[in-house]
Structure 1
């Protein structure tokens, strides 16, 4: 059925006019629409396999690059002024509107990887979404992560990151950072939040105002994996507390339960994870 799936690349304007790039995957008889919001530093192409799978199950799927990433990079990352909340306040809402336009009349759902689940409360149009699938979504607080991961995180925040900013003006993929290049302001906000268990919550009354975290009521199912050093049960729980009005549940899956040797922080989205993808699809379709 793969040959029946069509993939189209589109460009559209974010809320403030920044041009974003996205891919839309459509099947002949779709039942739902799925917005896939990426993790930090992941280009939209990382989610192509999952998007194709969901389309084969009967979904219209939109993957997109946040500003500063991939096809939405812009011209001068070092001077762009891009901040972390921009992805949720300006980019995700525009992507959801683009999906709604591509799939008129279909229920809108949301699959979030990592930071993709952090910013639902910044989306002024979040109420259009009927349900959320969180995959490896937990706060960035380093103290809640696996102990073996903490030294490398502190190195990234306080040694590698500052060095890359000094030399290049932005976070270049080098020295252990394997994601896409990141803007300087975004990196500094991410680092500041990640030094405290409360993460972004102290900013809700100031830098993140106005917001909609208390208003999100669409149900959230959150998948967590024991070998994920970042999205742990404790950081996942802390993040879900930011959505007090949303019904939620946490699903813990071990690699052996889904027939693989490793999942980690990004493995649930890699090819060959059909057992997990079926769970995501069933939830988004409303079948479980």
Structure 2
């Protein structure tokens, strides 16, 4: 893998919050531009190898940390007011505008991991996205998980999050292997949305008064794996139901068919899973 020119930058959102981001310049002629939207509590560096792969195949890529995460955490996390909702309403739209400025007059694609695809319908500029490639993106509805994992998920969502928020003013997700520490409102919304049907849909008419989930028609591929306890087929279908007009296809991967021992919820973007990356590249090339 050759090394594209990678530049760290700062993106200022409409409300003045600054996000840490990295721009990967393509090493061949530009075919399109990709916004890499991260999973909950996952730093942009996690996607560096995958972004490099896309850049080496003709795509400009931007990776970023949502507010309150990684390089976009300013000050004490217990005073951070970030929410899942503002990630979709404020952070992602600002990142897309920066991508459009950096790579003008080209097709723009969303490649998302988990939360990144869940939140697209909160973006007022989502209409500018030509296609969406979602990995492990689902509603995460607890009741659809197999029993053993459901017990673990209930412990994390309904015991650990409230307890950690109460004791520390934020959720120490890193203690249970769930990424970066989470601002309390992010974790609280995550808890509420995964306990209901349709994830973000549970907030429609409550905290969310405007969205475009029912208007989006862009082509999308929803990729999950048989060994993903969170984004199982039922939860992928549950999330897709929030997009009534979406042109959506699904693809469920079996690790052994790709020479892998596991994919799960996190391993698609691992350098050990490079055998899977042409799936994303082929999708982008077609759209």
**TM bin (shorter chain):** over 0.9
TM-score by length of 1: 0.95
Gaps of 5+ in 2: none
C-alpha contact 2:36 2:64 (8 A) present in aligned 1: yes
C-alpha contact 2:24 2:55 (8 A) present in aligned 1: yes
* C-alpha distance in structure 1 between counterparts of 2:228 and 2:22, whole Å: 28
Would the alpha carbon gap of residues 174 and 9 (structure 1) be closer, same or farther in structure 2, given more than 3 Å must change? closer
Alignment of 1:148-163 (within 5 A): 148-163=148-163
Q: For the aligned residues, what is the CA RMSD?
A: 1.4
Aligned to 1:27: 26
- Select between 194-203 and 183-192 the one with higher mean Cα deviation: 194-203
C-alpha contact 1:146 1:230 (8 A) present in aligned 2: no
* C-alpha distance in structure 2 between counterparts of 1:272 and 1:89, whole Å: 33
Aligned to 1:212: 212
Alignment of 1:110-259 (within 5 A): 110-259=110-259
Would the alpha carbon gap of residues 174 and 167 (structure 1) be closer, same or farther in structure 2, given more than 3 Å must change? farther
* C-alpha distance in structure 1 between counterparts of 2:31 and 2:110, whole Å: 14
Return the offset for 1:244: 1.2
* C-alpha distance in structure 1 between counterparts of 2:242 and 2:275, whole Å: 29
Secondary structure class of the residue paired with 1:134: strand
* C-alpha distance in structure 2 between counterparts of 1:255 and 1:36, whole Å: 23
Aligned to 2:42: 42
* C-alpha distance in structure 2 between counterparts of 1:198 and 1:125, whole Å: 22
Aligned to 2:7: 8
- Select between 158-167 and 54-63 the one with higher mean Cα deviation: 158-167
* C-alpha distance in structure 2 between counterparts of 1:283 and 1:125, whole Å: 22
Give the number of aligned pairs.
Answer: 286
Aligned to 2:99: 99
* C-alpha distance in structure 2 between counterparts of 1:131 and 1:69, whole Å: 26
Return the offset for 1:174: 4.5
Moved runs in structure 1, 4+ residues, more than 6 A?
Answer: none
* C-alpha distance in structure 2 between counterparts of 1:216 and 1:231, whole Å: 21
